[in-house]
Amino acid sequence: MFVKKKKFFGTDGIRGPINEITNPEFVLKLGWAAGKVFSEMGIFSVIIGKDTRISGYLLETAIQSGFISAGIDVKLVGPLPTPAISFLANSFKNAAGVVISASHNSYLDNGIKFFDNRGKKLSEELENRIEQMIDEKFQVVEADCLGKANRISDAGGRYIEFCKKALTKNENFSGLKLVLDVANGAAYDVAPKVFKELGADLKVISNKPDGLNINKNCGSTDIECLKKAVAENNADFGLALDGDGDRLVFVSKDLTEIDGDQILYLLAKEKFQHNIYLGTRGVVGTHMTNQGLEDALKELDIELIRSDVGDRYVLEKLEELGWELGGEQSGHLICLDSALTGDGIIAAIKFLDAINFSNKVYKKNIKNFKKYPQVLKNVKTNDPEKIIKNKKFNALKKRLEADITNNKGRINVRKSGTEKLLRIMVESNDSAKTKNVSEELESFAKNLS
């Protein structure tokens, strides 16, 4: 089926600089357009959450006005992780979900994510329908049909209890010493409460959001402060979330980073090793997933299927295959036996539960997972498509890919779905070749940008 190329929606909602696409005028119209589409579906209520960036105040007011003008009631919850809004949309009767967040981006950006009334991200068909509605004339419903707004006072508490249910093998986190980096973001309040209520000895960092410091030198995209805190507090593990709480990275006691591929391997091993799971033994990764994960899972007789990059595509593939576990190397992990979308807090609980809170158990269980050398390069450019379609760049890519074929090598070049970047991934079992190939591609791409 032909799918129209979207003008505004990317791989994860709509995102961009606050003075460009996510300005209040556009977001007002977006709220109205989404409200009209939701009302056509028989949905007349939305739950709106946000992260902690300063522009959230502005966009919350704008999108709220848009929904109300379309006759949609609004329920506000304030700063909460993206997966919390998915949970709330699913638990409230026939309410869609909206998140105002630019995830791991800086405060200069913001974005809008949508969930349907089942707590799942919108289909491309619905996103296209909203984009079509944006082009329609703005018309406010009659006064007696306007939506109303109120706040859900116990939303955070509901989500905390929901997360705690992910702990199934152990009774609590007693005796576990953790450092938690909440990225000055949406999880700054609820995430510490989850781990404290489960009994962990907890040190929290990057938990003083001021509207400008979200993801700044902290969180899952910058773990140096987390490593330092783990060492200073002699913690068993450190874990970092991103600005909207759906991405997760761990740090072990010896200050080694544990990324999404490694976490996914441990979760898969725990899920399938006792042969009590009924159904296909399979996991969904992406084209960025390290080949080492595929090799390690194969030894356990677990199949890895790759989707396009983006947690929405991982989720689509999981639903297509009827599987439950998938994720991205960056730390977006989906455990459909517990949540309907990627959830950093739930993934962290499941990981710690799987290894019985022990670095020794972690190291023992991960020893058969040998990563291939992989280099990721980001090239800033206003037009990544121009580089991707460039004949000389593609000829170079083809030649270099052939050069590393005997080293089980591969190259993946794509445009970012969230930023103005060209992303270049090179992987092979030869670290020197991997480095050289990635540098040559990066240099060529920069000259074209």
Final residue of a structural domain among 371, 390, 413 = 371
Phi, psi of 96 (to 5 degrees): -85, 170
Measured from the Cβ of residue 257, the count of other Cβ atoms closer than 10 Å reads: 14
Residue 4 within a domain: no
Q: Radius of gyration of the chain from Cα atoms?
A: 22
Q: Which of 260, 346, 239, 271 is nearest to 311 (CA)?
A: 260
Per-residue exposure over 231-252, b if at least 16 CB sit within 10 Å of its own CB, e if not: eebebbbbbbbbbbbbbbbbbb
Per-residue exposure over 59-94, b if at least 16 CB sit within 10 Å of its own CB, e if not: bbebbbbbbbbbbbbbbbbbbbbbbbbbbbbbebee
61 and 113 share a domain? Answer: yes
- pLDDT of the chain, 449 residues: tens digit per residue: 334 567 899 878 999 999 888 999 999 999 999 999 999 999 999 999 999 999 999 999 999 999 999 999 999 999 999 999 999 999 998 999 999 999 999 999 999 999 999 999 999 899 999 999 999 999 999 999 999 999 999 999 999 999 999 999 988 999 999 999 999 999 999 999 999 999 999 999 999 999 999 999 999 999 999 999 999 999 999 999 999 999 999 999 999 999 999 999 999 999 888 655 556 789 999 999 999 999 999 999 999 999 999 888 999 999 999 999 999 999 999 999 999 999 999 999 999 999 999 999 999 999 999 999 999 999 999 899 999 999 999 999 999 999 998 888 999 999 887 778 999 999 999 999 999 999 999 999 999 88
Residue 331 within a domain: yes
22 and 147 share a domain? Answer: yes
55 and 148 share a domain? Answer: yes
Can you tell me the distance from the alpha carbon of 251 to that of 42, in angstroms, rounded to the nearest whole number?
45
CATH number of the domain enclosing 71 = 3.40.120.10
State the pLDDT at residue 3. Answer: 45
293 and 415 share a domain? Answer: no
Instruction: Give the CA distances from residue 104 to residues 26, 276, 439, 443, in Å, rounded to whole numbers and listed in that order.
Output: 22, 37, 25, 26
| Residue 103 known to be catalytic | yes
30 and 145 share a domain? Answer: yes
117 and 198 share a domain? Answer: no
For residue 216, give its domain range: 176-258
User: Using an 8 Å Cβ cutoff, are 221 and 215 in contact?
Assistant: yes
Q: Provide the terminal-to-terminal Cα distance of the chain, rounded to the nearest Å.
A: 33
State the pLDDT at residue 246. Answer: 96
Can you tell me the distance from the alpha carbon of 92 to that of 433, in angstroms, rounded to the nearest whole number?
53
Residue 165 within a domain: no
Can you tell me the distance from the alpha carbon of 17 to that of 359, in angstroms, rounded to the nearest whole number?
41
Residue 167 within a domain: no
Can you tell me the distance from the alpha carbon of 335 to that of 316, in angstroms, rounded to the nearest whole number?
13
Measured from the Cβ of residue 142, the count of other Cβ atoms closer than 10 Å reads: 7
Residue 110 within a domain: yes
Can you tell me the distance from the alpha carbon of 199 to that of 174, in angstroms, rounded to the nearest whole number?
5
Final residue of a structural domain among 335, 355, 371 = 371
CATH number of the domain enclosing 432 = 3.30.310.50
Final residue of a structural domain among 339, 371, 403 = 371
Total domains in the fold of the chain: 4
26 and 148 share a domain? Answer: yes
249 and 273 share a domain? Answer: no
76 and 204 share a domain? Answer: no
Orientation of helix 391-403 relative to helix 431-448, angle to 10° = 180
Residue 6 within a domain: no
Can you tell me the distance from the alpha carbon of 94 to that of 117, in angstroms, rounded to the nearest whole number?
5
265 and 350 share a domain? Answer: yes
State the pLDDT at residue 278. Answer: 57
State the pLDDT at residue 2. Answer: 37
211 and 147 share a domain? Answer: no
Q: Which of 41, 60, 65, 45 is nearest to 126 (CA)?
A: 41
143 and 116 share a domain? Answer: yes
Instruction: Give the CA distances from residue 156 to residues 84, 167, 209, 339, in Å, rounded to whole numbers and listed in that order.
Output: 8, 18, 17, 16
Residue 94 within a domain: yes
Could you say which of 55, 103, 220, 330 is catalytic? Answer: 103
State the pLDDT at residue 275. Answer: 55
Q: Pull the structure tokens for residue 76.
A: 């506000």
